[in-house]
Structure 1
Amino acid sequence: MKIMQTTLENPKDKTAVPFSRTNPFQAKVLNNVNLNGAGSSKETRHIELSLDGSGLSYVPGDALGIIPANDPELVASLIDEMAWDEEASVIINKQGETLPLKEALTSYFEITLLSKKILQQAAEFTENEELKKLVLVENANQLKEYTNGRDLLDMFRDFGPWKASAQEFVSLLRKMTPRLYSIASSIAAHPGEVHLTIGAVRYTAHGRERKGVCSVLVAERVQEGDTLPVFVQPNKHFHLPESQEKDIIMVGPGTGIAPFRSFIEERAVIKAAGRSWLFFGDQHAASDFLYQDELEKYQKDGVLTRVDTAFSRDSEQKVYVQHKMLENSKDLFAWLENGAYFFVCGDKQYMAKDVHEALLTVIEKEGSMTRDEAQAYLDDMKGQGRYQRDVY
């Protein structure tokens, strides 16, 4: 399988344009394995891609963009629902470029996300009273609620019959956005390669099974030898300290481990003098301890000074990374006082907030400070670039 993207050439000097977001590189898949063990409720893919011939490079902390393709089953359901001709040619952009409808819905347009704007514009293509009512200004909250967790197929099924062509509908859609993933490798450790750690997103909502566009593409449809269109997205706000002497504390539960694997690999190659401490968490130690063998070897070799784990489903009381931070508050504060850099990667909604609160509590308690003083201490760390977050 190859996800098609065109390579541009500069007509003046005939040299290839550098690979980028608008001109992605077709990276060959070298390895694609599930990191979770038997009995896990999760599927986390470790993917290794070749950058040979791309001229692309990266540093630990950067992200890789993938331009995905939509699920062929979902595309088929949309075309079937609307009784469209999949070979019909549709205009896809302002430049007037065209694609066959099936290809446009597969590789060009975003079809799994609904916006307020799409529903408002679609209301003109139907006599459906329910939709006309939903898009009224006074029903803004209900409209927002409807868009949550629903896609184009839901809209087609819920508010027909429709009186619009395929062209009129695709004109409402936005272009597929690249999915960004924290890079999980050091190029110094794996020359010419880039590794990713991607959790497959699958859930049921509104009576239908839902799949993450890119994560499930990678989990179910991309085999070794296939190619994926990729580009490097630098992350200026998340990187190792310039001095190799500095200590680093890394908090990365679940797929949040990704950039820290790159940090650890990089520091192993350059034989950094600074200490490193990792907090990792997931559901079960037996099936969800991502990169366990590697991490244990790094600890044995002294590359990783400490590893503290929290497996939330292995005990009566759910234990998370922030609980491990509080348990080790004395040592944690001593590391901070010694100039350690503190990094967090992963879930923005809950985990990052809980870790932030735990960090404040550690500083307040061990530094004998008020909450405001602890906050000022943390703000000072931020100002020095010693508190960095890569959250999503």
Structure 2
Amino acid sequence: MQTQTTLEKTYSRTNPFQAKVLKNVNLNGAGSSKETRHIELSLKESGLTYNPGDALGIFPSNDPELVAAILEEMKWDDETLVEINKQGETLSLKDALTNHFEITLLSKKILQGAAAFTESGELQKLLLVENMAQLKEYTNGRDLLDMLRDFGPWKASAQDIVSLLRKMTARLYSIASSNAAHPDEVHLTIGAVRYTAHDRLRKGVCSVQVAERTQEGDTLPVFVQPNKHFHLPESGETDIIMVGPGTGIAPFRSFIEERAVRKTSGRAWLFFGDQHAATDYLYQSELEQYQKDGVLTKVDTAFSRDGAEKVYVQHRMMQNSKELFAWLQSGAYFFVCGDKQYMAKDVHNTLIEVIEKEGGMTREYAEAYLNDMQEQGRYQRDVY
């Protein structure tokens, strides 16, 4: 009998824990073009624990307005029962579209499947082998509603269409708290994603759910996703350099909190950047306090829209190249978190330039130096 009770309490991706929202605040000041949410969730009685660097998975719900627009477009009855898997489990159509399926992403596979239910010549043409580029372009930034509007009329039941859809996937967010500092809690830093594409406002499924529809006291289905490739050095005496602009600050808040609780002696240097110092300096008062307390040795900020020229974290690294290289030479770990497309590449290249310049090396040697750091686990990236 004992094992049964233990099993019931094991929460995971396949059995997420309903975590109560304790706090949900916007970190950006009035007038900011961004909305970054600081969320605190209760893990009480979940048995879930985490390490600095780990991520939290959230299973989101789709925007009720988007679900309503799909039902309206297809003149479907939201109470119609549909099968959601091969085991024959059923849900009402509204529930299936809200909680079970991805409706904001399109793929070649979905369009190929949908082609059987319409006589649209336009869709047939898009699916031709020679039109691969156009197909890719079409699926980018469009969703199920676009497809239903663009290629009708449809000879399809609700079941036919939902059978084409992918199951909702969890969204992973870097944890922004230390378990040691906040037992029974987990904190997240989530930037709300909103943009206009193809004449419609698009919203990030999870980020906007959290920003617009999640109140304190609500629950969210969560699980812990360990990250073996992004963690503090074992010794608290080791120096750490952290580059985390925007929501990339999240894991470093967790690192700093952990080191504050453990009273470690290693130095810590943070590079943080965003648009405006007045409205976008996330966790400013906390970070300033940590500096006063000596937990953070150095903080260098880059606010790109505050001056005539755009200044980013990599520019601050270059300005501090001598000291940065000295820290690396004395064994510091170097961490980067945030945007994969631009920031992480720029930081990577700047790091090579710093090593090349201050180490008096060729580019090739500087790259080898960084590769060695990576192999020793001293250069770690959490990029998305």
Question: Normalized against structure 2, the TM-score is what?
Answer: 0.99
Q: Residue 252 of structure 2 aligns with which residue? A: 260
* Aligned match for 2:134, one of 142, 157, 164: 142
* Contact 2:115–2:124 (Cα < 8 Å) also in 1: yes
Contact conserved, 2:9 with 2:46, CA < 8 A, in 1? no
Of residues 345, 350, 366, the one that matches 2:358 is 366
CA–CA distance in structure 2, aligned partners of residues 97 and 284 of structure 1: 50
Q: Confirm or deny: 8 A CA contact 2:20 2:42 kept in the other structure.
A: yes
1:355 aligns with 2:347: yes
Report how far residue 121 of structure 1 moved: 1.0
1:276 and 2:268 are equivalent in the alignment? yes
Q: Paired residue for 2:73?
A: 81
Q: Find out whether 1:153 has 2:145 as its counterpart.
A: yes
Tell me whether 1:311 sits opposite 2:303 in the alignment: yes
Q: How does 1:274-353 map to 2 (within 5 A)?
A: 274-353=266-345
Alpha-carbon distance in structure 1 between the residues aligned to 2:4 and 2:298: 53
**AA of the residue aligned to 1:102:** K
CA distance in 1, matches of 2:4, 2:328: 53
User: SS of 2:56's equivalent?
Assistant: strand
Match status 1:102 vs 2:88:
no
Cα deviation digits, residues 284-313 of structure 1 (max 9, x gap)? 000000000000000001000000000000
- Please give the alpha-carbon distance, in whole angstroms, between the structure 2 residues aligned to 1:184 and 1:370: 38
SS in 1 for 2:22: strand
The structure-2 alpha-carbon separation of the partners of 1:381 and 1:75, relative to structure 1 and needing over 3 Å to count, comes to: same
CA distance in 2, matches of 1:293, 1:42: 19
Shift of 1:11: 12
Q: Which amino acid in structure 1 is aligned with residue 12 of structure 2?
A: S
2:383 is matched with which residue: 377, 385, 391? Answer: 391
Question: Judging changes above 3 Å, is the alpha-carbon distance between structure 1 residues 73 and 330 closer, same or farther for their aligned structure 2 residues?
Answer: same
- What does the per-residue CA deviation read over 1:183-216, in whole Å, with 9 as the maximum and x for residues that have no partner? 0000111110000000000000000000000000
State how far apart, in whole Å, the 2-side matches of 1:39 and 1:282 are.
14
RMSD: 1.0
How many pairs does the alignment contain? 383
Residue type at the aligned position of 2:314: Q
Q: Partner of 2:122 in structure 1? A: 130
Task: Render the CA deviation track for 1:142-181: whole Å, top value 9, x for unaligned.
Answer: 0000000000000011111111100000000000000000
What residue identity is the alignment partner of 2:365?
Answer: E
Q: Given that residues 58 and 172 in structure 2 are in contact (C-alpha distance below 8 angstroms), is that contact kept between their aligned partners in structure 1?
A: yes
Q: Give the Cα separation in 2 of the matches to 1:256 and 1:33.
A: 18
- Residue 211 of structure 1 corresponds to 203
Q: Distance in 2 between matches of 1:379 and 1:187?
A: 31
Please state if 1:175 is matched with 2:167.
yes
Distance in structure 2 (CA, Å) of the matches to 1:13 and 1:25: 17
1:13 to 4, 25, 34: 4
For the residues of structure 1 that align with 2:306 and 2:5, how far apart are their CA atoms?
Answer: 60
Alignment of 1:47-86 (within 5 A): 47-86=39-78
1:34/1:146 Cα in 2 relative to 1: closer, same or farther (>3 Å)? same
Distance 1:297 1:13, change over 3 A: closer
* Match of residue 5 from structure 1: none
Q: Is the 8 A contact 2:21 2:216 kept in 1?
A: yes
Percent of residue pairs identical? 80
Output the CA distance in 1 between the equivalents of 2:103 and 2:110: 11
Gaps in structure 1 of 5+ consecutive residues: 1-9
Give the whole-Å Cα distance in 2 for the aligned partners of 1:14 and 1:265: 33
Call closer, same or farther: CA 1:386–1:112 in 2, change over 3 Å: same
Q: CA deviation at 1:138?
A: 1.0
Q: Distance in 2 between matches of 1:341 and 1:124?
A: 55
Deviation at 1:13, TM superposition (A): 3.2
Gaps of 5+ in 2: none
Give the structure-1-normalised TM-score: 0.97
Distance in 2 (alpha carbons) for counterparts of 1:14 and 1:45: 36
SS for the counterpart of 2:337 is strand
For 1:150 and 1:18, the matched residues in 2 are separated by 37
Q: CA deviation at 1:137?
A: 1.0
Give, in whole Å, the separation in 1 of the partners of 2:307 and 2:85: 54
Distance 2:239 2:283 in 1: 22
Aligned with 1:184 (options 173, 176, 183) = 176
The code of the aligned residue for 1:390 comes to D
- Whether the aligned pair in 1 keeps the contact of 2:44 and 2:185 (CA below 8 Å) is yes
Q: Which position in structure 2 is the counterpart of 1:229? A: 221
For residues 74 and 243 of structure 1, the distance between their equivalents in structure 2, rounded to whole angstroms, comes to 49
Residue in 2 that maps onto 1:382? 374
Q: Which amino acid aligns with 2:4?
A: D
List per-residue Cα deviations over 1:64-91 (Å, max 9, x = no partner).
0000000000000000000001000000
State the alpha-carbon separation in 1 of the partners of residues 172 and 244 from structure 2. 17
What is the aligned partner in structure 2 of residue 111 from structure 1? 103
Provide the rounded CA distance (Å) in 1 between the counterparts of 2:4 and 2:376.
45
Paired residue type of 1:249: I
Letter in 2 for 1:326: M
